[in-house]
Each structure stands twice: as C-alpha cells, then as structure tokens.
Amino acid sequence: MNNRPSFEKIDYTIRPAKCIERKMIGEMIGSLRAFQPINEYVYIGLGSTFFTDFVLYHKMFGIHDMFSIEKEETKRQRIEFNIPFECIKVQYGETTDVLSRLNWQSPSIVWMDYDKGIDYRKQDDIIFLSQNLQSSSLLMVTVRTENTDFDKRKSPPNLDVRLESLRDSLHNKIPDLTKYEVGDLGKAIQIIFTAAISEALAQANSGKPEVEKINFHQVEALMVGKDVTLTIQQHNNCTPEKLQPLFDKAYELYVKYEVETS
C-alpha cells in the first residue's frame, strides 16, 4: 500500500475540481461581511505544502490570523520553506490534538479539507469544533466520497456494503439512516455530519439561557468531483437578513459552476 502523503501524489494547485471548490468557498466567505469585517476572522485549515487556500483567502480578504494544521512533521523543512506569508502559523500534529490547543475566542472560518474518507477521528473533530466555535463562525468539512478499499479488478461494492464499511469506520456512531432517502455515500455523510453537529450543540447548550445558546444553519452540501463539502454557518443572535446572503450566494454559485448538490 502506498502511504505517501497526498501532497506528494497530487498537485492540488492545479486540480480542476478543487480549484472550483476553492473559488466557490471564497465567494461564500465574502458573504460573512454581514457579521463582521472578514479580515478580523481567524482562518484555520489544512494547508499542506502548497497553502493554496491560505494564499487565496489572504489576498482576497486580508485575513492575517491563519493557522495550518499539518500531521507530516517529518516534512517540516519543506513545509516551513514553502510558507508564503508570515501571518500563517503551522501547527504540527493530528487534527484532534491541534484543534484542542488553539484559541477559540474569536469568530473563525474553518475548512477541514480532509484528503481521505470519513472516520471516527474526523467525526470527533467536527464535534469539538461545533462545541467551541464562536457565534458567526463558518465551518466547512470536505471528505472523499469515492470508496477505494476494494479490488479494482472487480465491480465497486453496492451502497449497502459501503454504508456498512462507513458504520465500521465511525465505530457505529451513526444515526439511523433508514429514516432518510440515502441514494449515495455523499448524502449519508451529510446526514452523519449534521447529526453529529446537532448532538454536539445540544450538549454544549445544555443549561444555558436561551440568548446564549448556539445554533447552526447548514448553507448546503456541495458535491465537487469526488468530494463532499458540508458548509455550516454557526450563530446565535443573527437575523435572517444577515444569513440570507449566504444562501443566495450558495444558489448563485451552483448555477455559475454547474455544481451538483447533495
């Protein structure tokens, strides 16, 4: 099995679907101006050795407080050499460990752009972020929907087999999918993430006065190439007038880029 990190196998700066996805997310981030100046947000992501999204959003919005999480500490020299701006700070370690070390006192834009499929560690990340992000934060989670754990010489497994594999990878922490119309793995992942966020916020809001409770609004689930990106706007005392531009922008982008929605 090839265990090389994905950045040594794929140049994400030129991958067409990923370029479209970054552009879409960038235009959606622009709608956050309704809440506060975008350059006052903290940006947190998985920059790899290319830092492509960091460069794009720093230039677009002037964000100067940026953190990139990197687990490949053996590649530190290459990564440090490639850092394009001083405002980007690289934090080394597994995402679960690094997220717990960061300061969550300011509204954040978080893009967990994982290069593999969903598993229980990623689900734990989503739960942690849901409980720690401040009001007006934007959370985006991207995972692969293509199942590669099967013999390429045979036909891919059907959806039931893939869902069973998904259940195993999540240690059975999965909602009852029979209540939903699940036509593909992307839809199942969307349901799982949304359920995890709802449960995490229910725990975080327990015992809080109504005015202090954090809610969330799912802007949409984007299907670009073989990735699914769940986009969540988290807030408490935000008016519908402030939220509407995000939904309008999402619809506009679907039409513009002819993107499949889940």
Q: How confident is the model at residue 162 (pLDDT cuts 50, 70, 90)?
A: confident
Percent of the chain with pLDDT over 90: 35
pLDDT, tens digit, for every residue of 14-67?
Answer: 556 677 778 878 888 888 888 889 999 999 999 888 899 999 999 999 999 999
**Domain spanning 6-261: CATH 3.40.50.150:** yes
- Using an 8 Å Cβ cutoff, are 76 and 93 in contact? no
Distances (CA, A) of 78 to 56, 72, 74, 82, 108: 20, 10, 9, 6, 27
Tell me: pLDDT of 154 over 70: no
pLDDT value of position 250: 63
Percent of the chain with pLDDT over 70: 75
Neighbours of 220 (CB within 10 A): 21
pTM listed for this prediction: 0.83
CB contact burial 185-212 (16+ within 10 A = b; e otherwise): bbbbbbbbbbbbbeebbeebbeeeeeee
- How open is the CA angle 198-203-206, to the nearest 5 degrees? 120
Tell me: pLDDT of 76 over 80: yes
Tell me: pLDDT of 149 over 80: no
Which residue in this structure is represented by tokens 């006065």? 209
C-alpha span between 216 and 250 (Å, rounded): 16
Tell me: pLDDT of 94 over 90: yes
155 or 110: which carries more pLDDT confidence? 110
pLDDT value of position 178: 78
Task: Return the CA Rg of the chain.
Answer: 18
Tell me: pLDDT of 186 over 90: no
Q: Kindly state the average pLDDT of the residues 116-129.
A: 91
- Of 47, 97, 55, nearest to 75 by C-alpha is 47
C-alpha span between 199 and 178 (Å, rounded): 19
Which residue in this structure is represented by tokens 């954040």? 108
Q: Kindly state the average pLDDT of the residues 247-262.
A: 60
pLDDT value of position 171: 85
Neighbours of 158 (CB within 10 A): 8
Q: Kindly state the average pLDDT of the residues 150-176.
A: 75
Distance between the two ends of the chain, CA-based, in angstroms? 31
pLDDT value of position 10: 47
C-alpha span between 200 and 87 (Å, rounded): 31
pLDDT, tens digit, for every residue of 215-234?
Answer: 888 876 666 555 667 777 66
